[in-house]
Amino acid sequence: MKVSIRLRPSVLDPAGEAIKSAANKLGVDGINSLRIGKLIEINLNGVEEKDIERKIELLCDRLFANKVIEDYEYSFKKIDE
Amino acid sequence: MNKFTVGIVVFPGSNCDRDVYWALYGCLDIKTKFIWHESSDLSGIDAIVLPGGFSYGDYLRCGAVARFSPLINSLYDFVKSGRKVLGICNGFQILTESGFLPGALSANKNLNFICKDVPLEITSSKGGWFIKDNENNHINLPIAHGEGRYYCDNDTYKELVDNELIALKYLENLNGSSWDIAGIINKKGNVLGLMPHPERACDKTIGGIDGLHTLMSLIT
């Protein structure tokens, strides 16, 4: 499972601005905006499929993201062992 | 010594707990007790300070992991009972992450760790944490943080203003906080969170005593 967390568009991302400035110095132009987020990878085991979404919503809502300043989205796939 | 006991919560990574102890006990003769974050026993404690530092290494977000400690869990009833809670710096971050106070703290606008005495304006006397009068509402307190930029949306800001919940504003807004906000109070008035460090301004020999009143108000 992969969860990505991003600062909300209304929240300034000073680290993103700094990287954007470095990218310009590297000579890469045309970058309109650059924002930094987080990626969390989770491997679930022994969780019933019907419970997966509820569990991941709980994690995102209460722990992974602070919804005052961040948005999140997630995707998951089944891995056969 | 007075009869009140102030609990100072110690998380793994707290580093201002001893400063708070010195300010309360050394400067104000207030009985204190260090409380390890895994304890949920707040019996005999009249007020709580969540000190500054880097609880849990600030992993994920500042204060995001600390909020799940047993102590924070028992803080909800503590606050409901009307007893006072003061969150300083990392303590403020924990209070917003735990939902005791609205808004959030994020990286300083200039990405620097800022360590400096700053001028502040007292904007509310609610809860008795600060004295706002018509003569002089300016105080100086040290700040020392990398992630102290307060953020809230317009609706939250309106609620803060309408209820006089903004305690302190930066006169020199170095971290880029929304509306210059440096500290806020809950509606009941018994929870204060602020980024500046009042405990580092309680002794003239180290630069000032503008923080004394706020710490004293824990027991009044």
DSSP output for A51-63: HHHHHHHHHIIII
Which residues in chain B have Cβ-Cβ distances shorter than 8 Å to A64? 60
* Chain B, nearest residue to A5 by Cα: B60
Q: Is B64 in contact with A66 (Cβ distance < 8 A)?
A: yes
Strand partners, B50: B87
The predicted pLDDT at position B207 comes to 82
The question of whether B213 is a catalytic residue gets the answer no
Q: Going by C-beta distance under 8 Å and a sequence separation of 6 or more, which residues neighbour residue A52?
A: A1, A44, A76
Which residues of chain B are within 8 Å of residue A18 when distances are taken between CB atoms? 111
Are B102 and A68 inside 8 Å of each other by CB?
yes
* Domain carrying residue B43: 5-219
Task: Assign residue B9 the CATH number of its domain.
Answer: 3.40.50.880
Give the count of beta carbons closer than 10 Å to the beta carbon of residue B153: 16
User: What domain count does chain B have?
Assistant: 1
Containing B29, the helix (H) or strand (E) segment is none
> Which chain A residues are Cβ-neighbours of B108 within 8 angstroms?
14
Verify whether residue B197 is a known catalytic residue.
Answer: yes
- Residue A77, C-beta contacts closer than 8 angstroms, at least 6 positions apart: A1
The pLDDT tens digits along chain B (220 residues) read 668 999 999 999 999 999 999 999 999 999 999 999 999 999 999 999 999 999 999 999 999 999 999 999 999 999 999 999 999 999 999 999 999 999 999 999 999 999 999 999 999 999 999 998 877 899 999 999 999 999 999 999 999 999 999 999 999 999 999 999 999 999 999 999 999 999 999 999 988 999 999 999 999 8
What's the full length of chain A, in residues? 81
- Please state the ipTM of this predicted complex: 0.81
d(C-alpha B141, C-alpha B174), whole Å: 13
pLDDT by residue (tens digit) across A6-63? 999 999 999 999 999 999 999 998 999 999 999 999 998 888 888 999 999 999 999 9
pLDDT of res. B215: 96
Residue A81 corresponds to which amino acid?
Answer: E
All domains in chain A, ordered by first residue: 2-75 (3.30.1280.10)
Is B89 designated active site? Answer: yes
Task: Give the pLDDT of residue B3.
Answer: 87
**Under an 8 A CB cutoff, do B106 and A11 touch?**
yes
Best mutation site among A11, A19, A66, A70 for testing chain B: the one with the most B CBs within 10 Å? A66
